Amino acid sequence: MHEFSLAQSVIETTLAVARDRNVERIQKVILKFGIFALVQEDQFRFCFDLIKTESNLTATSELEIDWIPGELQCESCDFKGMVKTSPQEHNELAPIFQCPACKSYSTKIISGTETIIDSIVV
């Protein structure tokens, strides 16, 4: 389960930062996910809400997810550019992306697979 381990590592990092700075409560965690990171937002939120209750530091933390566009290069035509597909359209089992120009599936991901903790609000 990709979302579960990702949520776990986000919470672990958040807790480490909180302990480092002697913070008593984390109000909000702001994440940036690339649209090609193949994170199912609903599943991720579910896992995050489950794991956050294990510590008082994160038990009431809000979660904000910003989706950032990714860059795709097509191997069938000359297209290379940013793609802003809705994350809900992604299927974890079939991580292929269609070229917006020629509809080919022979595409290569240049960027947009990142999962970043943008900021932690205390």
Q: Name the residues that contact Zn ion, by CB under 5 A.
A: 74, 76-77, 79, 99, 101-102, 104
Rounded CA separation 107/118 (Å): 28
Minimum CB distance to Zn ion smaller for 7 or for 109: 109
Minimal distance, residue 89 CB to Zn ion, in Å: 18
Minimum CB distance to Zn ion smaller for 102 or for 121: 102
CB 14: neighbour CB atoms within 10 A? 22
Minimum CB distance to Zn ion smaller for 33 or for 97: 97
Rounded CA separation 118/115 (Å): 9
